[in-house]
Amino acid sequence: MSATMTTTPSASQDEWKIQKRAKACSLCVRAFRSEEEHYSGIARVEARFERRDVCLPCWNERKPELFSFWKTRMPKIEQKRFEDVAAMVEFFKKLVETPSEDPVRVKITYLMALLLSRKRRVRLAGSKDGKLRVEKTWDGEAVELAEPVIGDAELAELRAQMEAIFTSEFAAPPA
């Protein structure tokens, strides 16, 4: 004989769901800056708990009633970088149109293919005998590229060079 036991929680599960950190003060609605200190707390609202994030000026002027609170800091907001994918495609086209045995150029061509596969501009169609088969989305043709050995230090250097060429830095929005 088996018995099935069910339990009914005394409080609704929704009562215990707490929101993530807000991007702005819950009192003055000013957006928090990168790494800005502020207070976070839990307020009891009707039959549930809600998170409140409050900037230091609002906290000092009109400290809200909170069940529990703590001082915290916004995470560092990274600068957004926008990649010029069209420029990457054009560069890759030129690399493929005029192949070279130069080891650095072979590595750059290979890395561009991998990068463009992440951007869905080329499709990786397999690898065989040290060659990577790549299908270009713009004309449907396939090309085989050498799969070079790239050490970690060299990869970091090549990546930095490629980022410098194909990314634009935009400052974080002003506070």
pLDDT at site 13: 53
Question: Which residues lie closer than 8 Å to 52 by C-beta, 6 or more apart?
Answer: 26, 40, 41, 42, 43, 64, 66
State mean pLDDT over 77-81: 70
Q: Phi-psi region for residue 165, left (φ > 0), alpha (ψ -120 to 50) or beta?
A: alpha
CB 133 within 8 A of CB 124: yes
Model confidence at 14: pLDDT above 90: no
pLDDT at site 159: 85
Question: What is the rounded CA–CA span in Å between residue 99 and residue 53?
Answer: 57
Q: How far is CA 4 from the centre of its chain?
A: 45
Model confidence at 35: pLDDT above 80: yes
pLDDT digits (tens, 9 = 90+) for 115-133: 999 989 999 999 999 899 9
Q: Where are the domains of the chain?
A: 19-73, 81-165
pLDDT digits (tens, 9 = 90+) for 148-163: 999 999 998 888 888 7
Higher per-residue pLDDT: 47 or 90: 90
Domain 19-73 has CATH 3.30.160: no
pLDDT at site 78: 76
